[in-house]
Amino acid sequence: MAGAEVIRIQDGRRADPQLCRGRTADGRPCRNRAGASGYCKRHEPGAGRAATPAPSRFEADLERALAFLRRRVTGAYAIDDFGFDPDLTENVLLPILRPLFDRWWRVEQRGLENIPASGPALLVSNHSGTLPLDALMMKLAIYEGTGRHCRLLAADLPFRLPFVGEIARKSGNTLACAEDSTRLLDAGEIVGVFPEGYKGIGKPFRERYKLQRFGRGGFVEVALRTGAPMIPVSIVGAEEIFPMIYNVKPLARLLGFPYFPVTPTFPALGLLGAIPLPSKWIIEYGEPIQTAPFTPDAALDPMFVFNLTDQVREAIQQTLYKNLMSRRSVFF
C-alpha cells in the first residue's frame, strides 16, 4: 500500500515560536523547547556539535524498523489475493533466512541470467533434505539475485498446520494445484515447483541426488497452457543437511506425516540433532525450456507432456551430476 510511509507531523509545529528551529538527525523538526536564539540547547548554532549531525546507520535502521512496526500494528499493509504479504516477507521472513544462506550453507548461484527480469516463469527443481529448507533457500536466492519473489507450490500438509501454514501463505506460497499455479503464471509471477514432492524430500540418504518420478507431469500441462518457460533448477547440498538413514513408518503414520526421519543426530541428540549440517550449496538455473511455441492444446497430448517432463527431469539430473563432480567436498 502506498500509505506505508512515515507521516511526519511538521505543519503547524514549524510556526510555533516556542519550539526549536533545528532539525533532528533524520530531518524532522526538533520538538524541544527553544531558547532565546530560537534553537534548543542541542541545536544551538555554533554549539560544540553540528546542528544537524548526519543520520547514523543506526538511526536510519531504527526509523525503518519503527515505521515497519507501526504498519504492522495499524494493519497498514497490502496483501494479494493469495495472501502474499511482501512487507512481512521482505522485512522479517527473508532476513531470518539470510544467515543460513550466507554463512551456514554459503549458497552459490549459477545461471541467474536464465531467470527473466519480468514475466512468468516456472522454476522446476529437485527436492531434498527431509525438511523443505531447499525451497526456502531457492526463494531467498531468487530474491537476492533478481529482486523478484518466487511463489512456491507446496503440498497441503504445511497449510493444515498452525503457524506453518500461516507463514507459508504470508510469504507468498500456495497449494500445488493447477488452478493456483495457472492463476499465478497468468499474472506474470515466478512460480517454483518441486515435482518429486515427498518422494524427493523424504528419500533415504543412500539415494541422494537420484531424481524420483516427476509426479504426473501436471506442472508441464500448466506451463503449456500458460506459455510460461520452464527453468530447470538443480540444488546441490541440500541432500546432506539431514541425512536420513531410516524412516520410522509407523510413527509417521501415527503423527500423520509423510515420513519420520532418523538421522545420525536426530532423534538421538534431541533438539540438537535438528540442527542441519553445514554443507556447501550450489543452486544452478538451467537454460529455459520454452513452451510458448506450442499451442495450449499440446497439454492434452499425454505422450507429449510425458516427453517434455522427461526433458526437464533429464536437464536437472545432468546438472546435478556435473555440479557434484566439480564439488571438492560436501562441506566446502
Partner 1 sequence: MAKQRVLITGISRFLGGHLARRLEQDPDVGEIFGVDLEPPSVELARTEFVRADIRNPLIVKVLQATEVDTLVHAAVIATPGRAGGRAQMKEINVIGTMQLFAACQKAEKLRKVVMKSTTAVYGSDPTDPSIFPEDVGPASHPRTGYAKDAWEVENYARSFGRRRPDVGLTILRFANFIGPQIDTPLTRYFSLPVVPTALGFDPRIQLLHEDDAIEILVRATREQHPGTFNASGDGVVYLSQALRMAGKIAVPIATPFMNLLGSAVRQTGLVDFSPEQLQFLQWGRVGDVHRLKTMFGYTPRYTTTEALRDFITRSKLAKVFSEEQAEQWEKDLYDFLARLSRRRSAPDAAKV
Q: Which of 197, 188, 239, 203 is nearest to 219 (CA)?
A: 197
* Grid cell 548526519 in the structure block, residue: 54
User: Is 249 an interacting residue with respect to partner 1 (CB under 8 A)?
Assistant: no
Distance separating alpha carbons of residues 157 and 318, to the nearest angstrom = 31
Q: Report which residue type is found at 245.
A: I
Q: Which of 268, 277, 244 is nearest to 258 (CA)?
A: 244
The bridge status of strand 190-193 relative to strand 108-110 is: unpaired
CB closer to partner 1 out of 59 and 207: 59
Question: Within a 10 A sphere around the Cβ of 46, how many other Cβ atoms?
Answer: 7
Question: Within a 10 A sphere around the Cβ of 211, how many other Cβ atoms?
Answer: 20
CB closer to partner 1 out of 74 and 329: 74
Element (H, E) at 44: none
Question: Within a 10 A sphere around the Cβ of 103, how many other Cβ atoms?
Answer: 9
Distance separating alpha carbons of residues 263 and 270, to the nearest angstrom = 11
User: Is 39 an interacting residue with respect to partner 1 (CB under 8 A)?
Assistant: no
Task: Pick from 13, 21, 25, 258 the residue near partner 1 by CB under 8 A.
Answer: 25
User: Is 69 an interacting residue with respect to partner 1 (CB under 8 A)?
Assistant: yes
**Which one-letter DSSP state was computed for residue 150?**
E
CB closer to partner 1 out of 20 and 283: 20
Q: Scanning residues 273 to 312, which ones bind partner 1 (CB under 8 A)?
A: none
Which set of grid coordinates corresponds to residue 266?
Answer: 536426530
Q: How far is the CB of 34 from partner 1 (least distance, A)?
A: 16
User: Is 83 an interacting residue with respect to partner 1 (CB under 8 A)?
Assistant: yes
Task: Pick from 163, 293, 325, 326 the residue near partner 1 by CB under 8 A.
Answer: 163
Determine contact, residues 247/260, Cβ cutoff 8 Å: yes
Task: Pick from 51, 62, 112, 324 the residue near partner 1 by CB under 8 A.
Answer: 62
Question: Which of the stretches 80-88, 117-125, 233-241, 324-332 binds partner 1 when contact is defined by CB under 8 A?
Answer: 80-88
Determine contact, residues 130/241, Cβ cutoff 8 Å: yes
* Grid cell 567436498 in the structure block, residue: 329
Q: Scanning residues 169 to 198, which ones bind partner 1 (CB under 8 A)?
A: 169-170, 174-175, 177, 179-180, 183
Residues binding partner 1: what is the number (CB under 8 A)? 45
CB closer to partner 1 out of 101 and 198: 198
Task: Pick from 73, 117, 271, 272 the residue near partner 1 by CB under 8 A.
Answer: 73
% helix / strand / coil in the chain, to the nearest 5? 40, 10, 45
Instruction: Spell out the alpha helix ranges (H) of 202-263.
Output: 218-226, 249-255
Task: Pick from 31, 98, 216, 249 the residue near partner 1 by CB under 8 A.
Answer: 31
CB closer to partner 1 out of 46 and 48: 48
User: Is 43 an interacting residue with respect to partner 1 (CB under 8 A)?
Assistant: no
Q: How far is the CB of 41 from partner 1 (least distance, A)?
A: 13
Task: Pick from 14, 33, 98, 160 the residue near partner 1 by CB under 8 A.
Answer: 160
Residues engaged in binding partner 1 (CB under 8 A): 6-7, 9, 24-25, 31, 53, 56, 58-59, 62-63, 66-67, 69-70, 72-83, 85, 156, 159-163, 165-166, 169-170, 174-175, 177, 179-180, 183
